[in-house]
Amino acid sequence: MKNIIYLIIFTVVSFVGCSGTTKEKNGLGEKEDIVIVRFDREVYEYLEHPESIKEAALKEKYPLLLPAFGRIAMDNSDPVTFYPSLREYFSHPILMQIYKDAESHYTDVSTYEKELSEANVLVSQYLSGRKLPELAMHVSGFRENVIVLNNLISISIDKYLGSEYSMYKEFFQVYEREQMKPEYITRDYLKAWLMSDVVKMGTEEQNLLSTIIAEGKTLYALSMLLPQKEDGYYIGYSEDQLIWCKQNEKILWQTVVKQNYLFSADNMVITRFVNDAAHTSIVSPESPGRVGCWLGWQIVNQYAKKKNASLQEILNTDAQTILKEAKYNP
């Protein structure tokens, strides 16, 4: 369980053989409800009672998710040694306890299916008939949080057992644990989809501006797809952190501009502004982490208001145009 990373998207461009939606016809047309695929539960049942018939069934049902899960959870997708490695990996008492806790906590996921189904309606409305991919759950043992395949996203539910979950304290910082709550499952499904398939920088030069605008687009899209949530939910800030950013918005922007950070392609500068951290060290020890993302969000918000732009138009507009036409100057 070393080298733990909170949110890494593992991407494989291919098709996945499992179903995760139900369709219902009504007077307004066909409604598609999200049904989360419980890959985690089927793997757990296998671990509890390993049988060759279950191995064959898992391989047939999850021809791509299964090896992808093997690569991220135990660094092994070799079909010859996969199942022995899987059993050995989860034979560790701590890992198996984590798995049991996750399964106990998530016996019912209908709340998330409902939220995601409602978001899916808005996805289709705002993004020209697009829809969410298949959605699944897995348990990785505190390793990578998200697996993204071509038409499936799987969330590691052992990373959402609540900020006070006892086993988190040995492996995660306080600021990380604040994001490890059940209520962020829906957000993180949507965020993973937006980051991997919707918000793309294209041919833009990657610098701080393009990065924070991409983050701002993602946050703006989340606010459109989950309109009932508070602002802090989208970015994972407390009310005090939001207040700090608003009160220091002018100073934050002046720091970016006067220090010539805005068009910097220095990866160290970019990561300090956008990566999860206890605070944004390049700015202030009193700041929350990821203030660059918050600034990008404010710029996109202002652009949307000034141009009365649709979500699709915002996503299609390059970073420099958004900055210029937003006339952002707090």
User: Would the pLDDT of 263 be above 60?
Assistant: yes
User: Residue 187: helix, strand or coil by DSSP?
Assistant: helix
Residue 143 confidence (pLDDT) above 90 = no
Which alpha helices (DSSP H) does the chain contain, by range?
Answer: 39-48, 52-61, 65-74, 82-89, 93-105, 110-126, 174-177, 184-193, 208-225, 231-235, 239-247, 249-258, 267-274, 291-307, 311-316, 319-326
Residue 171, token pair as written in the block: 């492996």
Q: What CA–CA distance (Å, rounded) separates 302 from 187?
A: 23
DSSP 77-94: --TTTHHHHHHHHTTSHH
Under 8 Å between Cβ of 163 and 171: no
State pTM to two decimals.
Answer: 0.90
Does the pLDDT of residue 198 top 80, yes or no?
yes
What is the distance, to the nearest Å, from the Cα of residue 213 to the centroid of all Cα atoms in its chain? 17
Give the number of other Cβ atoms within 10 Å of residue 214's Cβ.
Answer: 23
17 pLDDT exceeds 60? no
Dist CA 297 CA 216 (whole Å): 4
pLDDT of residue 19: 39
Higher per-residue confidence, 72 vs 219: 219
Residue 25, sorted as left (phi over 0), alpha (psi -120 to 50) or beta, turns out to be: beta
* C-alpha to C-alpha distance for 59 and 66, rounded to whole angstroms: 7
The answer to whether the CB of 142 falls within 8 A of the CB of 171 is: yes
Considering only residues 27 and 84, tell me which one the structure prediction assigns the higher pLDDT. Answer: 84
Residue 199: how many other CB atoms lie within 10 Å: 20
Q: Report pLDDT for 66.
A: 96
The helix or strand, by DSSP H or E, that contains position 136, with its residue range, turns out to be strand 134-138
- Per-residue pLDDT, 145: 81
Q: What is the overall mean pLDDT for the chain? A: 90
- Residue 77: the pLDDT is 85
Q: What proportion of the chain, given as a percentage, has pLDDT over 70?
A: 90
Q: What's the confidence (pLDDT) of residue 20?
A: 53
Query: What are the structural domain ranges in the chain?
Result: 9-197, 201-326
User: Which token pair is 101?
Assistant: 């806790």
Q: Residue 235 has what pLDDT?
A: 98
The residues, any chain, with a CB within 8 Å of residue 276's CB and separated by 6 or more, are 6, 7, 175, 176, 179, 289, 290
Asked if the model's pLDDT at residue 229 lies above 90, the reply is yes
Residue 302's pLDDT is 98
Cβ pair 236, 183 in contact under 8 A: no
* Predicted local confidence at residue 144, as pLDDT: 74
Mean per-residue pLDDT, 84-113: 96
Name the most confidently modeled range: 198-202, 213-217, 284-288: 213-217
Tell me the per-residue pLDDT of 102-120, one tens digit each, with 9 for 90 and over.
999 999 999 999 999 999 9
Answer left, alpha or beta for residue 72, where phi above 0 means left and psi between -120 and 50 means alpha: alpha
Over residues 39-69, the pLDDT tens digits come to 999 999 999 999 999 999 999 999 999 999 9
Rounded to 5 degrees, what are φ and ψ at 231? Answer: -55, -40
Sheet containing 146-149: which strands, arranged edge to edge? Answer: 9-12, 146-149, 152-156, 134-138
Predicted confidence at residue 129, as pLDDT, reads 81
Residue 196: HSE in the Cβ half-sphere, 13 Å Cα cutoff: 24
